[in-house]
Chain A
């Protein structure tokens, strides 16, 4: 199994509070991705990174920011959480763009 750790695995928070999710990899892969998964939708890309300090927006980036200061860590921040951001969040890694992706175990976030 690819070495990907997401933390926390579960979080309950209140509307308006900031939240940061962490993805840590031990594979030294260049690409890292944050997705959200909601009923009735496929996985949707939030943001991705193609190197340290190199990030770009995905399909559903509004309300989210990311940072990657080290190869192994990719942080997803909800500056002011809203109930619409209640979801399961997955991190994935890939050696290069267009290569097979390996997924973390997911973080279940509830915003009340």
Chain B
């Protein structure tokens, strides 16, 4: 069964800290999404990547296909980064359907 595992489940950080959230998956993905779910419930797509690294502002996403692992990094974290971060894998031949991890709840304290 195709699965997506995230760690940690919960993360508390002090403002300014460098944050890493991890995502591992089973074989055969064609791409991986990182999403952010705000405390109010809205979901925003942050990145989609199939290789290498992508950067947007203070957010960096990397993926290592051989190790079946992706990371989301947040530099200089801020309380407004507090949210649930979700990774989701697209498995080949699935019509592009996403398999979601359960999310990492991040709380950044001032």
Contacts and interface: CB of A to CB of B under 8 A. Distances in A.
B44 interface: yes
Contact of B103 (A42, A58, A94, A101): A42
Given A48-B95, A94-B96, A106 B102 contact: no
Given A42-B102, A43-B86, A50-B95, 5 more contacts: A42-B88, A99-B96, A100-B33, A102-B45, A103-B45
Contacts of A74: none
Contacts of A44: 100
Closest 5 CB pairs of A and B: A97-B96, A42-B100, A98-B96, A103-B43, A43-B100
A12 to B, nearest CB: 17
Interface residues of B, number: 24
Among the interface residues B30, B33, B96, which one has the most CB atoms of the partner chain A within 10 A?
B96
Contacts of A50: 95
Given A101-B45, A103-B43, A40 B98 contact: no
A90 B4 CA distance: 20
Nearest to A97: B96
B42 interface: yes
A101 B101 CA distance: 15
A56 interface: yes
Nearest to A40: B102
Interface string A32-50: 0100000011111100101
Nearest to B96: A97
